[in-house]
A = this chain, B = another copy of it.
Amino acid sequence: MKRLAARPENRHQAQILSLLRDEGAMSRAELGDVIGLSRTKVALEVDRLTALGLTENAGPAVSRGGRRSTLVRLAQDMRFLGIDIGATSVDVALVDGELRILSHVSQACDVRSGPRAVLDTVVALAGKLRADAGVPDVYAAAVGLPGPVSFKDGAPVVPPLMPGWHHVPIRDLLSQELGCPVTVDNDVNIMAMGERQTGAARGAEDFLFIKIGTGIGCGIVLGGRVHRGVSGSAGDIGHIRVEDYGPACACGRTGCLEAFFSGAALARDATLAAKASRSTHLADLLSANGRLSAIDVGLAAAAGDPVAVELVREGGRRVGQVIAGLVSFCNPALVVIGGGVAGLGHALLAEIRGVVYRRSLPLATENLPIVLSELGATAGVVGAGRLASEIVFVAPG
């Protein structure tokens, strides 16, 4: 079943492949203009890529005068696997060379059940997608994990939410079981790259992607590349201090951002409010469902429940305070808010914007858009697909 996928032979071929991934079909003339190569040289490289099965002709280009050019595009049978392992679910998608999602499955799966069980689920889902699509081979796969990852080693490093995963060689295990090269990264990093590929951060070189889910994390993209830090823990902002005292955090300290605001904190505060009969709306939802989630708070807030609205505002204020500091520190071009709790939508966004615009350096916010994720639950698999393509679209050596 396994064949060794073709690879570009040099830097120019790798550049051509990346351009076709990001821009879709292009004429040889356009490729030459962007890369700074002569028509003859581009034609030569494209012919080699086509011979390798990596690109193909896509019909005549619109004439720019002179000899009619032919469009070239990535081979239409090129496939990557994007895998997003969350705290409580696994998403696997089959994407084409231009990172369009061809099929996507999501399955509940507790990351605390350990690497073996979770990888079995991943391999089964990937096998099913490939079988359904009649695609035995993929060029490469990439995986996001909900914890710090040593990118170099392809393994999680002391991940707090993932008992039993420390230093397990996920990259090598999956590579063997999927029969293709694999990269492993932190889930927030791949979501950030997904938003950059086809979402709210399309084409942005320097931006922050803030994921507010069960916990809070940040994907840092600088110069178009993910900044991972020396230990792979960059962006782990959930335990930044916002007060000296406050609710106890899972990390054992007090005053952490996550202890004030996150999916878990929101559910906790809503449950307290419901039990104390401060909100009949939340109390009704609690008695109906037996438990409250961040989504319930969003529904209650949308329905005008004042306690829920206040919880969202207060949370937005807290996360906004931390984002304001990060904006002053790294002066990004854009901030994208994503993750499950981003489903709270514009009430949350308005509060975050208010705090950041008020508290950051004016020069840093003058032209700073703060927007919601566009890809939502698919950001992770798209970003993982992008990361997988980067394994293949590189020059040798």
Contacts and interface: CB of A to CB of B under 8 A. Distances in A.
Given A237-B328, A240-B329, A364 B158 contact: no
A146 interface: no
Given A148-B363, A222-B227, A331 B240 contact: no
Interface string A216-244: 00101010000111111111110111000
How many copies the complex holds: the figure is: 2
A246 to B, nearest CB: 13
Interface stretch (A170-178, A189-197, A318-326, A345-353): A318-326
A162 to B, nearest CB: 13
Contacts of A220: 329-330
Interface string A328-351: 111111000000000000000000
Interface in A354-392: 359-364, 366-367
A230 B253 contact: no
A206 interface: yes
A87 interface: no
A231 B364 contact: yes
B227 A364 contact: no
A231 B331 contact: yes
A157 interface: yes
A363 B363 CA distance: 33
A232 B331 contact: yes
Given A239-B361, A359-B253, A218 B329 contact: yes
A148 B364 CA distance: 10
Given A222-B227, A324-B241, A325-B325, A234 B331 contact: yes
A119 to B, nearest CB: 23
A227 B206 CA distance: 11
A157 B236 contact: no
Given A158-B362, A236-B361, A332 B206 contact: no
Given A227-B222, A229-B206, A253-B359, A239 B328 contact: yes
Given A148-B363, A253-B359, A362-B158, A328 B240 contact: yes
Nearest to A234: B331
| Most chain B C-beta atoms within 10 Å of own C-beta, residue among A229, A253, A364 | A229
Contacts of A231: 331, 363-364, 366-367
Interface string A111-143: 000000000000000000000000000000000
A74 B234 CA distance: 38
Contacts of A328: 233, 236-237, 239-240
Contacts of A324: 240-241
Given A322-B325, A324-B241, A330 B363 contact: no
A257 B28 CA distance: 55
A230 B333 contact: yes
Contacts of A235: 329, 331
Given A227-B330, A230-B333, A236 B325 contact: no
Given A222-B222, A325-B322, A330 B229 contact: yes
29 contacts: A157-B363, A206-B230, A218-B329, A220-B330, A222-B227, A227-B330, A228-B331, A229-B330, A230-B331, A230-B333, A231-B363, A231-B364, A231-B366, A231-B367, A233-B331, A233-B364, A234-B330, A235-B329, A235-B331, A236-B329, A237-B328, A237-B329, A239-B361, A240-B325, A240-B328, A241-B359, A329-B329, A329-B330, A330-B330
